[in-house]
Amino acid sequence: MKTLAKQFDLLQITKTGPAFALDAGVSNSGWRQSAPGSGICINDTYFDLAGLSMDAKTLFFEAAGIQEAYPITRVGGSATAGDTAAVLDFMTTSPLTDTQVIQLFTFGNFDGSQLSFEQTVYGRFRIVNFDIDNLAGGSMITIADNQLGSLQPTATDRIYCYRVVSFGPGNSDGTLLMSGARYLLKASAKEEAEFEYLMRLKRSYDLQNEPDVD
């Protein structure tokens, strides 16, 4: 049994008027905005499983999770009750474009999504905000927390990781800081019967190369 880990850097962003901007002077490593001035920010990486696939082994997942240091926090300006953010964390067996990742906010991995239940190793969707009881503390609280995913075994050579946050356009001006995060996968690599492995390998290939559906 192995525990695999991938880290995402913190995100610090400032809203001025209608536009958001990633702050200079902090790392913000890997983060990009979906468009200039957008409040939707995306970061991605992947687990490299090529060594396992070269040994013709299948990865069986036991558990998946996400670690964070602190909630989204106001570090500049004044928060207003109703300021909101939505946070997506997904681990998948298939690569996604930025457009497909943003669609997860609407569809998750249900009908209409580019991502199926089988392709979703693990997913988490949270909505956080400031309300009148936590304004003084300066940290958003969670008002919805939902988890998705199949943890199905795979013969693919990568698990793609996406971390996305969408800050509400109606949020008050100021600077927000989102903690870095660590994605964890607890898994074991096992040999399967040749026929079973070849079928799983074909299925993994098919899932990675499914045509886009508009």
Reported as a pLDDT band with limits 50, 70 and 90, residue 126 is very high
Token readout for 104 is 């997860």
Rounded CA-CA distance 156/46 in Å is 12
pTM over 0.85: yes
Reported as a pLDDT band with limits 50, 70 and 90, residue 114 is confident
Residues contacting residue 96 through CB under 8 Å, at least 6 positions apart: 114, 115, 160, 162
Amino acid 44: pLDDT: 98
Percentages of the chain per state (helix, strand, coil), in multiples of 5:
15, 45, 40
Do residues 184 and 151 touch, judged by C-beta distance below 8 A? no
Mean pLDDT, residues 42-62 taken together: 81
Indicate the domain borders of the chain: 2-208
Q: Tell me the per-residue pLDDT of 75-89, one tens digit each, with 9 for 90 and over.
A: 999 999 999 999 999
DSSP secondary structure of 55-104: TT-EEEEEEEEEEESS--EEEES---TT-EEEEEEEEESS---HHHHHHH
Amino acid 58: pLDDT: 81
Reported as a pLDDT band with limits 50, 70 and 90, residue 198 is low
Q: Which residue has the tokens 């069986």?
A: 60
Return the minimum-mean-pLDDT range out of 5-19, 34-48, 148-162, 180-194: 180-194
- Least Cα distance to 58 among 148, 189, 146 occurs for 189
Do residues 186 and 62 touch, judged by C-beta distance below 8 A? yes
Reported as a pLDDT band with limits 50, 70 and 90, residue 13 is very high
| Phi, psi for residue 77 in degrees, rounded to 5 | 85, -175
